[in-house]
Amino acid sequence: MFTAQQYVKAASLEEAYALNQKRNNAILGGGCWMKMNRRRYHTLIDLSNLGLDTIEETPEEIILGAMVTLRQMEQSPELAAAFGNGFRESVRHIVGVQFRNCATLGGSLVSRFGFSDILTWLLSLDCKVELVGAGVLPLAEYVKMPYDRDVLVRVHIAKNGRRAAYESFRNTATDLPVLTCAASVLSGELRVVIGARPARAVCLSFAFPDSDEELDAICKEVQGSIPYGSNLRGSAAYRRHLAGVLCRRAVSSLKEGTTC
């Protein structure tokens, strides 16, 4: 369990950003993963007074505040209407309802966990992250950046007609995933995202397949061009095999029109 000398409820994003520049300070978020380390912090910074726990919708996009919980996303009618069951599927296996009521979107994304279901799912959509210091940039670019002291404010998801599907495999229902896969299509372009390799999620692009032979070729490319590793949950060879299986399931869902 971590310890801290001070706890501050930030009165503004500017205050949170300034406090977070100090090396021994940290944004609290939901605290669900943070509580598992033994680090000693000087100051914990709470963003809960800044109105970042809302899901907003405009004609062009859906905006998720950094303090939105995984459970809010799981139950959101706005997200379900815009993106089908993808948000629900990408979070419903994460530990349990009590955990998802606390864990936040911001905490999940800032950490860039290799095992993150929600990161795999969001990379399949057209997302931008809003940061206090760096401003607005694509999620795919943010994921590749080194860790820094910036503060994540919101995630903007374009409502552009992209259809997406999500698949994951776990050894047990609430365990961390052995492998995750999301696939999406827009204007004939297929995007396939593979996560929990066990490293951070990566994205590949293809022309959307018209035949089983083309889908076979895509699955083989996903298996062959992405590096996979081994840990206690599965070997690299097992993950490579799963990548082909989950990719085929996700793309088949898109072909059959069973997603949003």
List pLDDT tens digits, range 19-44. 999 989 999 877 766 766 677 889 99
**Looking at the predicted structure, is the pLDDT value of residue 259 above 60?**
no
Backbone dihedral region of 188: left (phi > 0), alpha (psi from -120 to 50 degrees) or beta? left
Q: How many C-beta atoms surround the C-beta of residue 62 within 10 A?
A: 22
d(CA 41, CA 39): 6
d(CA 196, CA 167): 12
- Tell me which DSSP letter residue 210 carries: S
Q: Quote the distance between the C-alpha of residue 223 and its chain's center.
A: 21
The residue that leads in pLDDT, 41 or 138, is: 138
Region 142-156 average pLDDT: 94
Kindly report, residue by residue over 47-78, the tens digit of the pLDDT: 999 999 999 999 999 999 999 999 999 999 99
Among 1-5, 122-126, 197-201, which is the least confidently predicted range?
A: 1-5
d(CA 10, CA 45): 6
Question: Residue 35: its pLDDT value, please?
Answer: 66
Which residue intervals of 53-146 are DSSP H helices? 70-75, 77-83, 86-91, 97-100, 105-111, 117-124, 139-144
**Looking at the predicted structure, is the pLDDT value of residue 4 above 90?**
no
Helix (H) or strand (E) holding 251: helix 236-256
What rounded mean pLDDT belongs to the chain? 93
Region 214-234 average pLDDT: 97
| Token output for 142 | 């943010």
Q: Locate tokens 């919980």: which residue?
A: 69
pTM, rounded to two decimals: 0.93
| Token output for 132 | 């206090």
Q: How confident is the model at residue 148 (pLDDT cuts 50, 70, 90)?
A: very high
**Looking at the predicted structure, is the pLDDT value of residue 18 above 90?**
yes
Q: What are phi and psi of 205, to 5 degrees?
A: -120, 145
Is the CB of residue 223 less than 8 Å from the CB of residue 204? no
Region 107-119 average pLDDT: 90
